[in-house]
């Protein structure tokens, strides 16, 4: 039950982070945004574990597992995430990312022997269906700005989901061994930050200018919510729960964003979004009752 609470807490943090990111969308490039997010997250999580002594829970093998998790979930996942949106647009890409849950279930079964009950499997299915309904949105075309082959975007989206699921799977051994969740996130964010900083060596990937101070402030808030709190809760959940279940519950961000948008912007969700939310709640209840 604690893993479920932690996973849903992570989803709430991810939703709040997405709201902050949306506020700087169009003003800060995706690679620059990732660089600042990861860099700020590493500084914050690193400072926390220095004070709390969280580094003492880590050994060399844990750091290697977490660094590998960052390579898959943050480095590869971030780059393919950006490319997917460019090829398919935000709506279709969000639908593609729902496949992270079945990928995580399959990987957990193949590599760690993790299984789920019939009730849990039904709950996962309801949550995935609910997320899909929530992000379908209006039927107008919301694809990429420049027409591009859709099959490439679909392939990239599936690769993103697989990379994220693999990242969670690779982090699990370190978390089961007792790694401090904040220290684990410091390793993951630090590895990711180093990668995005090294990309500056490529002239074509250098930003034309630094973000404004208000933009940096919002990026910092998104890092606190998503990278520091959200990912630390996710790491803690992985130490206690099935990879597939944790991934599914922490992926309910599109559902949780709906009330935030309604409260902050006065845009009431449509009927499909409400149906999706109900399905996700029922699916979560099934998983909770069978755990």
Q: Are the beta carbons of 93 and 159 closer than 8 angstroms?
A: no
Tell me what pLDDT residue 267 has: 76
Length of the chain equals 291
Spatial distance between the Cα atoms of 31 and 52, rounded to a whole number of angstroms:
31
The confidence score (pLDDT) of residue 291 equals: 60
Say what percent of the chain tops pLDDT 70: 94
The two structure tokens encoding residue 80: 């393919």
Residue 137 burial (CB count, 10 A): 17
Global pTM reads 0.86
Asked if residue 249 lies in contact with residue 8, where contact means CB atoms within 8 angstroms, the answer is yes
Distances, alpha carbon 114 to alpha carbons 18, 66, 105, 109, in Å:
31, 20, 8, 5
Percent of residues, the chain, with pLDDT higher than 90: 42
Please write the tens of the pLDDT for every residue from 233-284. 999 999 998 898 999 899 888 788 878 878 877 777 788 888 888 888 898 8
Average pLDDT, the chain: 86
More confident residue, 95 or 188: 188
Where exactly are the structural domains of the chain?
2-289
Main-chain phi, psi angles of 25, to 5 degrees: -60, 135
pLDDT tens track for 140-172: 444 444 456 778 888 998 999 999 999 999 999
Distances (CA, A) of 35 to 15, 76, 188, 198: 20, 14, 13, 10
Between 19 and 135, the higher pLDDT residue: 19
């Amino acid at each position: 039950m604690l893993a479920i609470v932690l996973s849903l807490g992570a989803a709430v943090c991810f939703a709040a982070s997405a709201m902050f990111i949306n506020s700087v969308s169009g003003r800060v490039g995706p690679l620059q945004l990732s660089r600042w997010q990861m860099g700020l997250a590493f500084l914050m999580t690193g400072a926390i574990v220095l004070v709390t002594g969280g580094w003492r829970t880590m050994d060399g093998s844990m750091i290697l597992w977490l660094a590998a998790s960052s390579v898959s979930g943050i480095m590869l996942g971030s780059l393919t995430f950006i490319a997917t949106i460019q090829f398919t647009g935000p709506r279709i890409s969000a639908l593609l990312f729902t496949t992270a849950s079945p990928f995580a279930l399959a990987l957990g079964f193949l590599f760690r022997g993790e299984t789920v009950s019939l009730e849990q499997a039904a709950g996962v299915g309801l949550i995935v269906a609910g997320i899909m309904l929530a992000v379908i949105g209006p039927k107008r075309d919301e694809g990429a700005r420049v027409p591009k082959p859709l099959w490439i975007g679909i392939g990239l989206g599936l690769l993103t989901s697989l990379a994220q699921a693999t990242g969670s799977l690779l982090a699990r051994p370190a978390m089961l061994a007792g790694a401090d969740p904040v220290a684990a996130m410091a390793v993951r964010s630090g590895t990711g930050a180093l990668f995005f900083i090294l990309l500056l060596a490529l002239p074509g990937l250098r930003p034309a200018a630094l973000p404004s101070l208000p933009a940096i402030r919002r990026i910092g808030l998104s890092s606190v919510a998503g990278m520091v709190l959200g990912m630390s809760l996710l790491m803690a959940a992985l130490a206690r729960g099935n990879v597939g279940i944790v991934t599914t519950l922490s992926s309910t961000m599109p559902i949780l964003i709906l009330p935030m948008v309604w409260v902050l912007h006065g845009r009431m969700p449509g009927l499909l979004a409400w149906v999706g939310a109900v399905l996700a709640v029922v699916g979560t209840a099934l998983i909770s009752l069978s755990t």
